[in-house]
Amino acid sequence: MAENMIQSNRLHRLVKLMMDSGEAKSVEEAQQILAQYRMGIQVRRGSAASPAYQAALLTAVNTGRRCFLGGVQVAGDLDIPLSIPWRGCSTLAEATQDLQGQIVSELPAGLPWIYFGDGIPKNTSTGFAIRPVVQGWNGGVLPACDPISFSMEETFTPAGVLAGAMAVSEAFQWIRGDSPLAGYRSVGLSLWQPSATANWQTAEPGPRLEYLPAKLWLIGLGHLGQAYLWTLGFLPYPVGSKVNLVLQDIDSLEDANDSTSLLTNSALVGVKKTRAMAAWCEERGFQTSLIERIFAGDFNISDSEPALVLCGVDNIEARRVLDKVGFKRIIEAGLGKGTQEYLALKIHTFPGSRPADQCWKSTNEGSYSPVPLITQPAYQDLLEKGADRCGLIELAGHSVGASFVGAVASTLVIAQVLRLIIGESIDELIDGDLRSSSILSCVVPNRSCLDLFNPGLIHI
């Protein structure tokens, strides 16, 4: 049993995808499949100098290396000053290498390409080449052969994170054959006016930022919580800004976290999530307070604490009491778990038309059962090798996950925060799936009469 527990904590969440789908007959075969996945990024001169496109590139490298285990190779113009903060790096090349991108003089044949730049790339031997695109608060990808030109001077970094994550999503879906349209379609979002029907390429660009949040409470520091910090960290805070973050989690980082969580690496395994994320935040210039206890409805926040909370936990009981402890605004995201749902995302804001405990039933109602998965060949192989059934059920109960999904969700969440800071209304529900060409299937505005409050502002 102990051995199975260790294995579940170490198992890459996309290796689990291969196991759960039945395409791999053993854990070893699943690992071999994922190790063959490789991706290339080509950067044309001058095309990644702006903050938004640098955020797109670094997001593509960071999310890409976590799902293309054969490596992410990057070629082109990288010896340029870094215009966004990343771990003391001074050039785009340094940041790329720090995020485990492999810089090469020329991309080898056979890789799916993510192409930064105008014009059509000269050599794409796989036939797959896509281009991340940013326009104000709008971000997405186009086929690289699309002749439409866009400004490369964009500064809204959440849209860059969105474009970079969407590019990796398309490349991953293409290499897996999940979607016949992946790489051959225009797919993106407006973060200013998210919609299930609007064309992101022609949507309003959104306003220039004048203020940023000064105080936030983050519940959960795994896949989603780290994605929130990743996107938040690229915002243009002035040097010396007093940004106060409350970080709440009880767990330590595990090997499995490296497969989905954007601020985790193997050197941090075993460190408390709160401590590891506090170190990252403080290096970024943020101030932190740590809470290492399970979030529950048995405490009330004080007037001096952040009243705006971002939640990224999959604990239903915690989510059911989010609106019971005194937060003024709550923005919460959840991701799909299984082989068909792992590309899905859903975002709620509270207060809303329904309280949180009506949005989620108790854990005993309609709960997901992992038992059918253990009939798949890879689980049966483990059983034949001596694993016990209880351990297999626990292993099967862990989620499938891809880092780029959390990155996309984070841009929608941070955009809602920024809309709130500006004084605009926010959305009560955003529902979507990265398989879909429209991405979003449902957006419901929050029409509740909400009390005004000052979440804490920093002028930029």
Burial of 238: CB neighbours in 10 Å, binned 0-12, 13-18, 19+: exposed
Closest by CA to 56, choosing from 122, 114, 6, 98, is 114
Q: Look up residue 415 and give its two tokens.
A: 């955009």
Closest by CA to 114, choosing from 79, 156, 51, 68, is 68
3 state SS of 102: strand
- For 280, 304, 307, 321, the CA distances from 298, given in Å and listed in that order, are 29, 18, 16, 9
Closest by CA to 212, choosing from 157, 251, 249, is 157
Q: Mark whether 390 is an active-site residue.
A: yes
CA distance 66 to 30: 15
Place of tokens 């990343």: 86
The region, left, alpha or beta by phi > 0 then psi within -120 to 50, assigned to residue 38 is beta
Q: Look up residue 92 and give its two tokens.
A: 């785009």
Residue 441 has phi, psi (to 5 degrees) of -105, -20
Closest by CA to 164, choosing from 262, 237, 98, is 262
* Set 311, 390, 442, 449: catalytic member: 390
The residues facing 433 across adjacent strands are: 344
Question: How many beta carbons lie within 10 A of that of residue 213, not counting itself?
Answer: 23
Active-site residue numbers?
A: 390
